[in-house]
């Protein structure tokens, strides 16, 4: 889109303007800011899994007692995603991101002070509220500043921050625990978000699409669009619009209107099964590897390869997901079935199991991040944070179930191979749901507020 409409003081379609621009320095800085939030989110979310063996030894508790502890934060994540997604669609993405960052930073810092399981469960639930609010809103904010042809790539690159933070948790735990104890991991994980929050308040912009939908911030919208492309001059009298309906009423209800019901439910299945697998593996891999003979530090290092694989998968998959959408996602989860199943068969062999864990991370973590990106492009602006937040919220149910199931199966003395077959089955369910969703979106794309040109190209290639 050229600047002509702006010069003529006619309506400027914000989405079309962004779609016509290359990805520039302003969007990259925004991406890095959101990635930093998710880096700390990923660190604080997964740190409990890395310290679990040390914590269990210090407190003299068994593996079954760790299940509720591992799931407590995930329960908070679920509630945070369900609450703060719709709230952000009302008051804006920026405010919720800052509030969430402060909340999970404070909660993580308090985690370092607790001395019993019951207190730890409560603190981890409260910490999870902040963690759950940050993720859907960084996804929505990055998506709304990205051209549709690069939307999945931008969101997925931003999400590398989460994987880096999750992997960093393993490396830092391995370095700190032998010298300073497990509490030191949470001191670091809590201080960093508290330092970041004031910077976000000063530097993070509000979503330009959200502002345009309110119709009350034309000057701010013009400023943000000029920062996206400084070479375009926008008239002071320009009126900025988003070519989407401003949906009224309860945001959640619009996830089930305009033929979105079945697609929303399938998306929830993808998130539920994917996050079940992701948190099952993130939380239990260090403990399982330790039981198989690896030292605590070695188990943490090998377990970190799950997140390292996720980082590589995220970087590699971005352009593929932008081009092939849910069909590529289905294939990724199908490959994950074999990678996850292989972990249970190779647990005693260091190099093969490390490769299998890396491959599982590539597919499960990379696939989940791709699902986040696709969900952000699936819903219109006025319910985008709600759509992503509720998909993540439902997925968090799976993330709660995953560690609990792992604890139960291990306490029942199931073999490592049998336990990981269960995890592989969850990946298969995600693959089937993603495949079905891809066919549904191609069939009814006109009902969905997604990148239609990309879908038409995909369809034309099929037919």
pLDDT digits (tens, 9 = 90+) for 289-346: 777 766 777 777 787 788 789 888 988 888 888 888 888 999 999 999 999 988 878 7
Q: Cα–chain-centroid distance for residue 245? A: 26
| Least trusted range by pLDDT, from 293-297, 316-320, 376-380, 429-433 | 293-297
User: What pLDDT does residue 202 have?
Assistant: 93
Count of domains observed in the chain: 1
DSSP single-letter state for residue 293: T
pLDDT above 70: percentage of residues in the chain: 89
Predicted pLDDT at 138: 94
Whether 84 contacts 128, CB under 8 Å: no
**Is 2 contained in some domain?**
no
**Domain assignment of residue 401, yes or no:** yes
Within a domain: 273: yes
- The two tokens of residue 331 are 């294939």
Give yes or no for residue 235 having a pLDDT over 80: no
- Arithmetic mean of pLDDT over the chain: 83
Alpha-carbon distance 377 to 448, whole Å? 9
Q: What is the pLDDT of residue 1?
A: 37
For 13, the 3-state DSSP assignment is strand
The structure tokens listed for 221 are 């919208």
Task: State yes or no: pLDDT of 39 exceeds 90.
Answer: yes
Q: How high is the pLDDT of residue 249? A: 61
Give the burial class of 1: count Cβ atoms within 10 A of its Cβ; 0-12 exposed, 13-18 middle, 19 or more buried: middle
If one compares 236 and 155, the residue with the highest pLDDT of the two is 155
Query: What local confidence, expressed as pLDDT, does residue 448 receive?
Result: 53
- CA 229 remoteness from chain centre: 28
Establish if 461 belongs to a structural domain: no
Q: Is the pLDDT of residue 453 over 60?
A: no
Which one is predicted more confidently, 68 or 448? 68
The pLDDT, as a whole number, for residue 94 is 93
More reliable by pLDDT, 453 or 258: 258
Give the long-range contacts of residues 223-230, CB within 8 A, separation 24 or more.
225/12, 225/14, 225/17, 225/18, 227/26, 228/17, 228/18, 228/21, 228/24, 228/26, 228/27, 228/145, 229/21, 229/24
Average pLDDT rounded to a whole number, residues 396-411: 81
Q: What integer pLDDT is reported at residue 452 of this predicted model?
A: 45
Tell me if 375 is assigned to some domain: yes
Residue 397 within any structural domain of the chain: yes
pLDDT at 236 over 60: no
Question: pLDDT at residue 415 above 90?
Answer: no
Judge whether 192 and 39 are in contact, CB under 8 Å: no
**Distance of alpha carbon 167 from alpha carbon 172, whole angstroms:** 9
Report pLDDT digits (tens) over 178-197: 888 888 999 999 999 999 99
More confident of the two residues 49 and 305: 305
Within a domain: 422: yes
Residue 145 has pLDDT above 70, yes or no: yes
Query: How confident is the model over 72-115, as pLDDT tens digits?
Result: 887 888 899 889 888 888 888 999 999 999 999 999 999 889 88
Tell me the HSE value of 218 on the side-chain side, using a 13 A CA sphere.
15
Q: Exposed e or buried b for every residue in 172-210, given b needs 16+ CB within 10 A? A: bbbebbeeeebbbbbbbbbebbbebbeebeeebbbbbbb
Pick the range with the lowest mean pLDDT from 110-119, 189-198, 441-450. Answer: 441-450
Domain at 287, CATH number: 1.20.1250.20
pLDDT of the residue at 454: 39
Q: In the predicted model, what is the mean pLDDT of residues 65-73?
A: 76
Is 426 part of a structural domain of the chain?
yes
Expressed as residue numbers, the domain containing 185 is 9-456
**Confidence at residue 330, expressed as pLDDT on a 0 to 100 scale:** 94
Task: Output the CA–CA distances (angstroms, integers) from residue 388 to 32, 90, 139, 229, in the order listed.
Answer: 20, 15, 8, 28
Of residues 405 and 192, the one with the higher pLDDT is 192
Output the pLDDT for position 431.
96
């Amino acid at each position: 889109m050229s600047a002509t409409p702006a010069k003529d003081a006619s309506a400027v379609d914000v989405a079309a303007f962004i779609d016509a621009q290359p990805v520039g320095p302003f969007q990259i800085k925004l991406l890095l800011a959101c990635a930093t939030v998710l880096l700390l989110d990923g660190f604080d979310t997964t740190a409990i899994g890395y310290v679990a063996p040390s914590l269990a030894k210090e407190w003299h508790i068994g593996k079954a007692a760790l299940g509720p502890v591992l799931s407590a934060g995930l329960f908070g994540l679920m509630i945070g995603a369900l609450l703060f997604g719709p709230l952000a669609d009302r008051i804006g993405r920026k405010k919720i991101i800052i509030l969430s960052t402060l909340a999970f930073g404070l909660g993580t810092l308090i985690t370092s002070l607790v001395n019993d399981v019951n207190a730890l469960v409560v603190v981890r639930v409260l910490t999870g509220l902040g963690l759950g609010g940050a993720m859907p809103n960084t996804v929505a904010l990055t998506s709304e500043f990205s051209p549709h042809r690069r939307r999945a790539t931008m969101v997925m690159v931003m999400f590398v921050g989460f994987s880096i933070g999750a992997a960093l948790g393993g490396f830092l735990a391995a370095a700190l625990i032998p010298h300073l104890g497990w509490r030191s991991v949470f001191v670091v994980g809590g201080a960093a978000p508290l330092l970041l929050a004031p910077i976000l308040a000063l530097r993070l912009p509000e979503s330009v699409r959200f502002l345009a939908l309110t119709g009350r911030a034309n000057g701010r919208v013009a400023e943000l669009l000029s920062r996206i492309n400084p070479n375009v001059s926008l008239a002071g009298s320009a009126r900025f619009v988003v070519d989407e309906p401003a949906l009224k009423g309860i945001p959640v209800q619009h996830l089930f209107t305009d033929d979105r019901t079945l697609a929303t439910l399938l998306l929830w299945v993808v998130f539920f099964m994917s996050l079940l697998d992701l948190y099952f593996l993130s939380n239990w891999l260090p403990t399982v590897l330790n039981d198989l003979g690896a030292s605590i530090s070695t188990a943490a290092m090998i377990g970190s390869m799950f997140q390292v694989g996720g980082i590589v998968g995220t970087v590699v998959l971005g352009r593929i997901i932008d081009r092939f959408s849910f069909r590529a996602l289905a294939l990724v989860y199908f490959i994950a079935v074999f990678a996850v199943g292989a972990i249970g068969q190779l647990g005693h062999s260091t190099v093969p199991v490390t490769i299998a864990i890396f491959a599982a991370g590539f597919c499960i973590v990379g696939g989940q991040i791709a699902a986040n990106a696709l969900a952000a492009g699936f819903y219109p602006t006025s319910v985008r944070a709600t759509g992503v937040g509720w998909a993540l919220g439902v997925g968090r149910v799976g993330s709660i179930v995953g560690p609990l199931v792992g604890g139960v199966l291990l306490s029942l003395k199931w073999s490592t191979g049998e336990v990981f077959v269960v995890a592989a089955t969850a990946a298969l369910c995600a693959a089937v749901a993603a495949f079905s969703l891809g066919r549904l979106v191609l069939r009814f794309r006109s009902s969905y507020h997604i990148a239609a040109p990309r879908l038409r190209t995909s369809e034309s290639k099929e037919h």
